[in-house]
Amino acid sequence: MLSEEKRTVCLNDLVIKNRTNHKIEAREIDATQPWILESKSSKLLTISKKVESTQLVLRLGAPEAKWSLPFTPSGSEEMFVKLAEPNGVHRAFTIALSDVAHLSTLEISDPTYFPFSLRNETRTEIVFYQSNPSLPREGSFAKPGAAALLIATAHSLFSKITTRPAEDNQPAWRPIRFRLPPRSILPYAWDYPSAKDKELVLVASGRERHVKLEPGTSMSWSLARDVCVNISMDSVHVNSSEDAVGTVMTLTFSMRKAQLKMTQV
């Protein structure tokens, strides 16, 4: 059953379907009162802006849960949004926007996996974060926990986030850095999934490299005079259960000797 709840001037209608087993709260970024979405339920809402112009935030339905970073629903592709459990562990939820009978529908699902995985087979720690060249600001490091596959909490930055001008429609940005220790694996989803151009900035041994998380990515990264890191991207299909079907892209860092031949620029 769809229930209607009007809070602002009706400029556009939006149906949100919570297909997960979790209670989820949602709101526009500049609103104070959240919408409550019970598990396996749908709700008809009125929002203050057109769907393609609004910024939403989500959180799991617990008083101590943190709000996600803001995102803008897009009908062009499915996006992953990270939500933090009360214990600080993050889960990746998929957001899909469709238009049915001229009514925008936003579906929230829990695929039980992250879209990316970073695998460090080297002896060097690698720091990475999502880039945004227009706002180069300093951020705080986020460390993986004791378990190799836990993503560190970075939501303390949320209170400092403001919106950009409406024509840009992108959330204000600051780097959220993660540490990838040697011989470790870390799952990842974009911190700012609505960004138009998405890249990772890699930092190790004082060297920096930008990389796109795209199939077929392959490059070398010189970290020392006689040592290079080989960077490669592969895709693995996930089909472990009915709720876990998709593709995980793995970015692998492996050591190899640098070639002695040098090219003068």
pLDDT tens for the chain, residues 1 to 265: 444 444 333 447 889 999 999 999 999 988 888 999 999 999 998 887 777 778 899 999 887 889 999 998 877 678 999 998 888 888 999 999 888 767 889 999 988 789 999 999 998 999 999 997 565 444 444 444 333 333 333 333 332 333 333 344 555 677 889 999 999 999 999 998 888 888 999 999 888 999 988 888 888 888 876 667 888 888 876 654 445 557 889 999 998 754 444 444 3
Q: Are residues 62 and 175 part of one domain?
A: no
132 contacts: CB under 8 Å, gap ≥ 6: 173, 175, 192, 195
Whether residues 87 and 212 fall in one domain = no
What pTM, to 2 d.p., does this model score? 0.74
Give a yes or no: residue 46 inside a domain: yes
pLDDT at 225: 65
Looking at residue 165, its pLDDT comes to 36
Of the CA atoms within 13 Å of residue 33, those in its CB half-sphere come to 7
Q: Are 136 and 130 in contact (CB under 8 A)?
A: no
- Looking at the fold, whether 159 and 59 belong to one and the same domain comes out as no
- Give the range of the structural domain holding residue 191, as residue numbers without chain letter: 116-257
Q: Residue 166: helix, strand or coil by DSSP?
A: coil
Non-local CB neighbours of 128 within 8 Å, separated by 6+ positions: 118, 177, 178, 180, 200, 201, 202, 203
Residue 262 counted as domain residue: no
Other residues' Cβ atoms within 10 Å of the Cβ of residue 34: 16
Of 48, 78, 109, the residue that ends a domain is 109
End-of-domain residue from the set 109, 139, 161: 109
Q: What's the total number of domains in the chain?
A: 2
Distance CA 180, CA 144 (A): 8
* Token digits of residue 228: 């290079």
